[in-house]
Amino acid sequence: MRTIKGPAIFLAQFAGDKAPFDTLENICRWAADLGYKGVQLPTWPSQFIDLEKAATSKSYADDLKGRVEAQGVQITELSTHMQGQLVAVHPVYDAQMDGFAPPEVHGNSAARQQWAVQQLKWAAMAAKNLGLTAHATFSGALAWPFLYPFPERPAGLVEEAFDELAQRWTPILDVFEENGVDLCYEIHPGEDLHDGVSYEMFLERVKNHPRANLLYDPSHFVLQCLDYLDYIDIYHERIRMFHVKDAEFNPTGRVGVYGGFQSWVNRAGRFRSVGDGQVDFTSIFSKMAQYDFPGWAVLEWECALKHPEDGAREGAEFIAAHIIRVTEHASLDDVAAGSRADNRKLLGLS
């Protein structure tokens, strides 16, 4: 068994234009001062990383890695959540999704998708240059608008959507295979890969691709009323990344899973800072240790109530307190040496 690495923090929710969140050095030093040992680096804020350079220049990647480590942390993984979302976009979301892409591809969904695919391929190469073994992304969504339909979906609609999704992602997965990096889909509402069954539908269509793996985030399963502990038992062999993020689900007679079009504060299901929600992290960390999870415990902060800097400070302490330093010797497995003759005698078979 391996001890989970951490604590680490995903920087996406903290990046900004004011110190200490404005430059790579400043935000990494801030994270280190809070007690984090690693940072998960989003690739869309240009002040943190030039993804193309990291992919095509080993010297740039080495310099980037050195700049981070000089502040007292290391890069745990890169993230292309925003770019991954653009690999597959239903037209109903076109206008909103343009905000995740550069201006030169706005209003041109085909060009935007090509840009996103290139970004993913560069991400695989950049991860290799940085010495990383896992990468975070979203799957995008073609079928999501038809999740709970009236009138009923026509036969074959979902199958067609997943066939297309697999066709788009297979060449990207192949590049990750070439670079020795696991592509980890965050299973997330709003994505076609939003629960276990939808992931299995995709996995079948990419022919159980060895790089089509999972980022485990229990908060999204609380909001779906899905058993997030059983999920680990089922999919642990594919879980290569871990977001430590809390949530709560408190339905009333007025609002439930679908949220009633309310703000995050007024929904029955909402994200919370770690320790303030309903996720059983003690059991999660135990299962991660049991199944020899190879990666980092990474705080992803999102909360409808708490200030992000308080959440970040508390998150480092929370993760450190939950990481299980695994034993090298399980006392209950220790047995005295014995011969076959001795064993037969104990069984009354001599």
pLDDT at 33: 98
Whether pLDDT at 105 is above 70: yes
pLDDT category, 5, cuts 50, 70, 90?
very high
pLDDT category, 177, cuts 50, 70, 90?
very high
pLDDT tens for each residue of 260-300 = 999 999 999 999 999 999 999 999 999 999 999 999 999 99
Residues near 145 by Cβ (< 8 Å), separated by ≥ 6?
90, 92
Tell me the mean pLDDT in the region 223-239.
98
pLDDT category, 1, cuts 50, 70, 90?
confident
Identify whether the C-beta of residue 124 lies closer than 8 Å to the C-beta of residue 137: no
pLDDT at 42: 98
Q: What does the DSSP 8-state code read for residue 266?
A: G
Burial (CB < 10 A; 0-12, 13-18, 19+), residue 278, is middle
Distance from C-alpha of 128 to C-alpha of 140, rounded to nearest angstrom: 24
With a pLDDT cut of 70, the percent of the chain lying above it is 98
The tokens describing 29, both together, are 């030093």
Q: Tokens 């590049």 belong to which residue?
A: 175
Distance from C-alpha of 349 to C-alpha of 241, rounded to nearest angstrom: 50
Distance from C-alpha of 185 to C-alpha of 176, rounded to nearest angstrom: 13
Q: How many CB atoms lie within 10 A of CB 95?
A: 10
Q: What is the pTM of this model?
A: 0.94
pLDDT tens for each residue of 299-349 = 999 999 999 999 999 999 999 999 999 988 766 665 667 789 989 988 999
5-346: CATH architecture: Alpha-Beta Barrel (3.20)
pLDDT tens for each residue of 6-29 = 999 999 999 999 999 999 999 999
pLDDT at 338: 77
Q: How many CB atoms lie within 10 A of CB 342?
A: 12
Q: Tokens 């229990």 belong to which residue?
A: 218
Identify whether the C-beta of residue 29 lies closer than 8 Å to the C-beta of residue 321: no
